[in-house]
Amino acid sequence: MLAIDTNIVVRFLTRDDERQAQRTRALIDSSPVFVPTTVLLEAEWVLRSVYQLGAAEIASALTQFIGHPNVKPEQPDRVAAALEWAGRGMDFADALHLASARECEAFVTFDERLTKLAKRVANFDVRAP
């Protein structure tokens, strides 16, 4: 199995360079690829900051991407939960933090917005220290 970088994910989703997009699609369609969580985090950032896509659009695109039969994300359950929460308005990085902390009693932060969203979107106990 090959591991892929952020630029492969971005080419696959945006097709902004048709030649590279074709090579990317051929790679992913022909063999399983491993996608580290950090690559998905960076891809979300690139799609948001460079391509100016909205959170729901990014969550949808990444959800479809990880649903490809040859795409094997690291920690698929955590990534799926984070993408669901991001699609409902939570910052993707924050959603990944929470999804990774599911076994913990609570997530502690000074981020008041995250505290409110986590209760509503993820039904997760987030609190200030």
CATH code (residue 69): 3.40.50.1010
Tell whether 23 is covered by a domain.
yes
* Whole-angstrom distance, CA of residue 123 vs CA of residue 64: 24
Q: What is the pLDDT of residue 95?
A: 95
30-51: pLDDT as tens digits: 999 999 999 999 999 999 999 9
* Whole-angstrom distance, CA of residue 80 vs CA of residue 52: 22
How many domains does one find in the chain? 1
Tell whether 45 is covered by a domain.
yes
Tell whether 14 is covered by a domain.
yes
Helix locations, 50-124, DSSP H: 55-66, 76-87, 92-100, 112-117
* Whole-angstrom distance, CA of residue 73 vs CA of residue 3: 10
Tell whether 22 is covered by a domain.
yes
Q: What is the pLDDT of residue 123?
A: 86
Residues in the chain where the model's pLDDT stays below 50? none
Q: Which residues span the domain enclosing 40?
A: 2-74
Write down the pTM of the prediction: 0.90
E strand or H helix at 52 = none
